[in-house]
Amino acid sequence: MSVIPEGSALFVIDIEYTVPFEEVQKVLEPHMAFVKQGYAEGRFLASGPKTPRTGGVVIAMGTSLEEVEALMAQDPFVEAGVIALKITEFAASNRHPVLA
């Protein structure tokens, strides 16, 4: 069984903070609960903050860009208006065997 389900694509979600980090911190706890749920549902493969801490990156799985956009619209960071997102779909034509 593949880690990436048949019919799913991978997406790079590039998160940029649009407000000072102090404002981001106010919704960090609910954002992390959202991230935890994304892993529990099998939607996220990897995530974490950028260095320097200007935002973060998520590697997600989904059947379409629209599905991933709808998912990310539920992120408390998005709901609070503290970030900008760029979502890029890509074909993982080369993969580590653990992802095969």
pLDDT tens-place values along the chain, 100 residues long = 568 878 889 999 999 999 999 999 999 999 999 999 999 999 999 999 999 999 999 999 999 999 999 999 999 999 999 999 999 999 888 888 877 7
Domain boundaries, the chain: 9-93
Topology of the domain comprising 9-93: Alpha-Beta Plaits (3.30.70)
What is the sign, positive or negative, of the torsion defined by CA atoms of 91, 93, 95, 99? positive
CB 73 within 8 A of CB 85: no
Strand pairing class (44-49; 9-17): unpaired
| C-beta neighbour count of 38 within 10 angstroms | 20
pLDDT of residue 1: 52
CB 30 within 8 A of CB 76: yes
> pTM for this structure?
0.92
Q: 92, 27, 16, 95: which is closest to 58 by C-alpha?
A: 16
